[in-house]
Amino acid sequence: MRKLGIMVVGVAVGLVITGMLIEQERQAAENNADAEKRNGLFAEICGNTVRMYEVKDGRFCGYRDTKVFESQEEAMEWVVKETDAKMVMKMD
């Protein structure tokens, strides 16, 4: 009976440790995703106009380029095919 009790306690401790490790992994992935969202090249799409800008260390570094297309669909297609920018949709 005592062996069974020790085994149950061991399993419970193992589950707690596993849960803590999973939570740490999730937290690290969230922090990494937040940093990735704050940095890089972005394409701001407003109607048929695309404005490219860059963000470094969470700070806006200015607009790099502005392009006007025939339609919003054409603008989105250009961003996807020709750039590695993250899209930001801006409503009028």
In whole angstroms, what is the distance from residue 40 CA to residue 50 CA?
A: 16
Determine the pLDDT at residue 85: 87
Determine the pLDDT at residue 50: 94
Quick: pLDDT tens for 30-79. 666 555 567 889 999 999 999 999 998 888 899 999 999 999 999 999 99
In whole angstroms, what is the distance from residue 17 CA to residue 36 CA?
A: 29
Extended beta strands in 12-76, E state? 40-46, 49-56, 59-68
Residue closest to 46 by CA, chosen among 62, 16, 66, 22: 66
β-bridge mates for residue 67, sequence order:
50
Quick: pLDDT tens for 9-25. 777 767 777 777 778 77
The model's pTM: 0.57
Determine the pLDDT at residue 66: 94
Give the domain ranges of the chain: 1-37, 39-89
